[in-house]
A and B are shown apart, each in its own frame.
Chain A
């Protein structure tokens, strides 16, 4: 099989019970309409989803692995950033 010159698309599937679309994987397709159909064949054939999004992979701006530390490892000595100092009143639900 030759290397595909079709662009890459990222696929997001909203599952039957889920509220939000979740990244499922990626695929090649010549355009958005075909990407949606390929996504249906590749990711929803076993009744996994009720809604599909496809996004051109080039449209996604991602954080760089080189910036991992400044991005994701804030100083651990700032406990006040975590909402752990509140007393939760009795009877409050869904917290």
Chain B
């Protein structure tokens, strides 16, 4: 690679918010891979198809976003861990089904609210960073992802004692990764990030309440001073995930079938 897109300037001469495209593209790529890990392991065949469909939607978004930044294959397969800008929430291991569903609830709610705002900013000309077209198309997909996560959160939270316990554990464990999502991304000037965060909180709280789950009262960010995923700092399991995602391309560069 000639330039490292992670350290390149945040906005291209054409007004494209490359840093934002990279961050959102990495979110979609990494979460897509995490969801694809369920293939062959989901509790029910129907649910496996649902998760794979969501993973494919996200992969499609990742391809568009990363192509705006550079060569999509190079970006996906040849970057080191520190060059990825995805939020740490998206790289958290699937764990049990409840953990996957809670991760989906947190992230899809964020994505729907954010894409809706980017699309609106494009309409009003207040600064969409050149991502308005993608956002307008993706927001429909993401609304379905959110519905899927919400339906399952309600059933797991208000289901059996066991499903309630597991879901509450996931709600608590992932809570500290949600604050990072609302770090403003450069170039998306039309997005009011404080309002986005408030909307996210009220939407997630409403679902957790209906699901008889308790909204955690702990902090929504970790203790790292140096930053988190948006600064290229990732959690332990991410390296192993990348190794699996990248090893084929690195072992057989340019392989096709």
Contact = CB atoms under 8 A, between A and B. Distances in A.
A45 interface: yes
A41 B45 contact: no
A38 B53 CA distance: 11
Interface string A36-71: 011001100100000000000000000000000000
Interface string A1-41: 10010100000000000000000000111110110011001
Contact of B46 (A27, A31, A33, A45): A27
Interface in B30-82: 44-47, 49-50, 53
B50 A30 contact: no
A42 B46 contact: yes
B147 interface: yes
Contacts of B148: 37
A33 to B, nearest CB: 6
Interface residues of A, number: 15
B147 to A, nearest CB: 7
A6 B155 CA distance: 14
Contacts of B9: none
Contact-residue size bin, chain B (C-beta under 8 Å from the other chain):
10 to 19
Q: Is the interface of B mostly helix, strand, loop or mixed?
A: helix
A4 B151 contact: no
A1 to B, nearest CB: 7
Interface in B159-178: none
A39 B192 CA distance: 37
B59 to A, nearest CB: 14
Nearest to A4: B44
A27 to B, nearest CB: 5
Nearest to A30: B155
A41 B151 contact: no
Interface of B: 44-47, 49-50, 53, 147-148, 151, 155
26 contacts: A1-B44, A1-B45, A4-B44, A6-B44, A27-B46, A28-B44, A28-B45, A28-B46, A29-B46, A30-B155, A33-B151, A34-B151, A34-B155, A37-B50, A37-B147, A37-B148, A37-B151, A38-B46, A38-B49, A38-B50, A41-B46, A41-B49, A41-B53, A42-B46, A42-B49, A45-B53
